[in-house]
Amino acid sequence: MQGQPLLSVNQITKLYGSFPSLSDFSLTLTPGKIVALLGPNGSGKTTLLKIIAGLLVPSAGSVSILGNPPGEEARNLVAYLPDRISVPGWMSSNRAIDYFADFFRDFDRPKAEKMLADLGIPLDKPLGKLSKGMREKVQLSLVMSRNAKLYLLDEPISGVDPAAREYILRTILTCHSPDSTILISTHLIADVEEVIDEFVFIRDGRLLCYDSADEARKREGKTVDEMFREAFRC
Amino acid sequence: MLKKLLKYDYLSLRRFLIPLYSLTPVLALLAGLLSWIAAKSDYFLVYLGLQSIYWFSVVALVLSAALLPVLLVVNYYKGMYSDAGYLTLLLPVKRRQLLFSKLLCTVIFLVAYIVVAFFSFGFAFFAGTAAAAGHNPFYAYVIVFTMIGDFLTTAPINAVLLVIEGLLYLFVLLILEFSNYYFGVTLGAVVFQGKGKIWGGILFCVVTDVAVSTLLSLVNLAVSGGILAGGADLSSFESAATLQVFLILGIVLRLGVAVLVNFFNIRMTEKKLNLG
């Protein structure tokens, strides 16, 4: 866990009414890592990702991405894949590529076009006329075609078929560079087990554990999936 | 960046406004021609049938015009605070650019609609009356353009000033009106986070617009009351000039209020919004 912090989450609390979705949560991530954000439903994973992306304002605490608070400059550094389809249905894949290329200076158009071709997505059909799975693939391709410093992926593989899942995980690995970090929230731990460098366990909005995957496996003699099942057994 | 934002806001609005704009003159042409034929018909049943279709077309025409602000407000809500907001609000642009682009695009489309509506409604409503009086179906426009022509000939400077003032006033009114609506939508999204955001937005649209309009009406009333209480003779040149000054001040005031409303809207999207 050495090097210049890419992401600093400092004592974040998020209240929905009087219910705390996150409580005094702190986390520091360095560049060049793939980090799994793991926790049961309602543990605060999506809330945390939204706060880092700047879609939610924390009730207390602060976030900084390479020293920038969530805002215009930070949005240039962060690529966020939400847990829903955000690209409007009236846009075709081609138009969506234009959109990303117009606004994000780190967007790699040839990479996006290649990914969409590999996934067999028609480029000129409005996204509203594609299946949900296809739209998710388009969205993921667009987000992963950015050369961002921090990728926030909220359940990127939950809605796609196993074949596409493999392609997506390969893509995540390909996109990963020494100066960028990927924070990936998922329930499908077994699928990401092989690609992650670190993992974060989160329960009831609190940090339960943040560890190196290799070190934890050696130390505990278990996979991350097994450790998760043990930690969150009902 | 503003140019790019305008491009996508234009594309987003174009897909449903162009059909609406095309429908308006078609309905107007249908209504106008039906009333024109009905006015010339001697047969009661034909007259009755044509009149019925005429009224159907007129109602459709009015509904399509009434639908426009609703469509604009819903489009704004969807672009900012529904799922598409997860993309829009994460663009590396300033929030003020985001809102300004949406507002400007809305006003441009509204001005375009006013032009379409002017030619459409005039024909739909007055073609029958013109026919009954023995004129051509476009007679209402002939009267309007003759009046404008006369005014331009007799007092060209006044006419040009009046046109500029009128257009400016219209532009500022539209900006203020939709600033209120969009502020209301944001307020709704902030207060009703998650559930019922769209209905909350529409409710706050109405509340904001009524509040701002009432406030401005009170200011208007106080100012015009003051002028009349001062014993102004409205037929004199001096009073007319004073009224002109107040008209311009009214435009400036409305523009100022619109800027203020947008300022609050920007602050709210920056500091208070929780896209849940």
Tens-digit pLDDT profile for residues B152-190: 888 777 778 777 888 888 888 899 989 988 998 888 888
Q: Is A159 on the interface with B (CB under 8 A)?
A: no
Nearest-CA distance A218 → chain B (Å): 39
Residue B265 is assigned to a structural domain of this protein: no
With b meaning 16 or more CB within 10 Å and e meaning fewer, what string describes A82-93? Answer: bbebbbbebbbb
Residue B51 is assigned to a structural domain of this protein: yes
Residue A2 is assigned to a structural domain of this protein: no
Are residues A139 and A103 in contact, defined by beta-carbon separation less than 8 angstroms? no
- Structural domain boundaries enclosing A35: 7-231
Residue A65 is assigned to a structural domain of this protein: yes
Amino acid symbol at B180: N
- Structural domain boundaries enclosing B15: 1-68+96-154
Residue B77 is assigned to a structural domain of this protein: no
The neighbouring-strand residues paired with A200 are A37, A210
H or E stretch including B62? helix B44-81
Report pLDDT for B196: 57
User: Is the per-residue pLDDT at A89 higher than 50?
Assistant: yes
Q: Do B85 and A82 touch (CB under 8 A)?
A: no
State the best of B90, B102, B186, B275 to mutate against chain A, taking most chain A CBs within 10 Å.
B90
Query: In the block, which residue shows the tokens 């969205």?
Result: A139
Report the SS3 class of residue A54. coil
User: Nearest-CA neighbor of A54 among B75, B100, B262, B91?
Assistant: B91
Residue B173: alpha-carbon gap to chain centroid: 8
Whole-complex ipTM: 0.86
The neighbouring-strand residues paired with A184 are A36, A153
Q: How many domains does chain B have?
A: 1
Residue B117 is assigned to a structural domain of this protein: yes
pLDDT, tens digit (0-9, with 9 covering 90-100), for A171-209: 777 777 888 999 999 887 888 888 889 999 999 999 999
pTM exceeding the 0.90 threshold for the entire prediction = no
Phi, psi of A72, deg, nearest 5: -55, -50
Q: Identify the band that residue A1 occupies on the pLDDT scale cut at 50, 70 and 90.
A: very low
User: Nearest-CA neighbor of A34 among A202, A205, A197?
Assistant: A197
State the best of A14, A72, A94 to mutate against chain B, taking most chain B CBs within 10 Å.
A72
Report pLDDT for A11: 93
| Neighbouring C-beta atoms of residue A209, cutoff 10 Å | 14
Residue A149 is assigned to a structural domain of this protein: yes
Q: Is A73 on the interface with B (CB under 8 A)?
A: yes
- Give the pLDDT mean for A112-140: 88
pLDDT, tens digit (0-9, with 9 covering 90-100), for B197-247: 677 777 777 888 888 888 878 877 777 777 667 666 656 655 666 667 777
Which residues are CB-neighbours of B156 under 8 A, at least 6 positions away?
A: none
Residue B129 is assigned to a structural domain of this protein: yes
Burial class (CB in 10 A: 0-12, 13-18, 19+), A179: exposed
Residue B30 is assigned to a structural domain of this protein: yes
The CA dihedral of B160, B162, B167, B172, to the nearest 10 degrees, is: 140
Residue B113 is assigned to a structural domain of this protein: yes
- Give the pLDDT mean for B58-81: 86
Residue A110 is assigned to a structural domain of this protein: yes
Are residues B252 and B169 in contact, defined by beta-carbon separation less than 8 angstroms? no
High-pLDDT (> 90) share of chain B, %: 14
CATH number for the domain harbouring residue A37: 3.40.50.300
In chain A, the residue whose alpha carbon lies closest to the alpha carbon of B7 is: A99
* DSSP result, B76-94: HHHHHHSTTHHHHTTSSS-
Residue B32 is assigned to a structural domain of this protein: yes
Q: How many domains does chain A have?
A: 1
Query: In the block, which residue shows the tokens 């009661």?
Result: B44
